[in-house]
Amino acid sequence: MTMLQHEITDFTANIYQDNAFSKLTKADMLGHWSLVFFYPNDFSFVCPTELEDLADHYEDFKAIGCEVYGVSHDTEFVHKAWHEANEKIGKIQFPMVADPTNRLSRDLDSYDEVNGQAERGDFILSPEGKVVAYEVISSNVGRNAEEILRRVKASQFVYEHGDQVCPAKWEPGDETIAPSLDLVGQL
């Protein structure tokens, strides 16, 4: 089953951001692009490298109208403790979402029933809250924020220009392709 065009379901979650606790709902995620970035655990090994990479590129995501949500099954209290204890995690300005019941990871089909935690999944959501791109990978392989950012930009482009597609390695300003019968077998 594909998650493409799956609309995120209603939810309320606790978050830690800007040295404060607050709530996040589906309604908060609508009207702009979102990156929902699942990771297995706070205080772990690969996760801080990924989250630091996202923190280093957070302004790039914000500049294109995309909010980043880091999500694990840890509580907002654990997120706060990790933020305060780890220099890499201390850089994070985006919301750290608590998903202790795994409702979000189950909704986006990235929950590992055997281990009781989220897989490394990143989901790009349209302003309507629908999945337009996603990737779920092995828990022992870290992800690259620059590639995810590129995919958000490409997703935004095709969202705006439905009659064009983005080839491999496409970056804003590169040529796109207008699909046509004449191109079959020519590329």
Q: Write out the catalytic residue numbers.
A: 47
Q: How many CA atoms lie within 13 A of 138 on its CB side?
A: 2
Contacts of 160 (CB under 8 A, 6+ apart): none
Residue whose pair of structure tokens reads 């620059």 in the numeric block: 146
DSSP 183: G
Nearest partner of 86 among 47, 60, 58, judged by Cα:
47
Contacts of 68 (CB under 8 A, 6+ apart): 34, 35, 37, 54, 58, 61, 94, 95
- 145-160 helix and 47-63 helix, angle to the nearest 10 degrees: 40
Distance (Å, whole) CA 61 – CA 120: 19
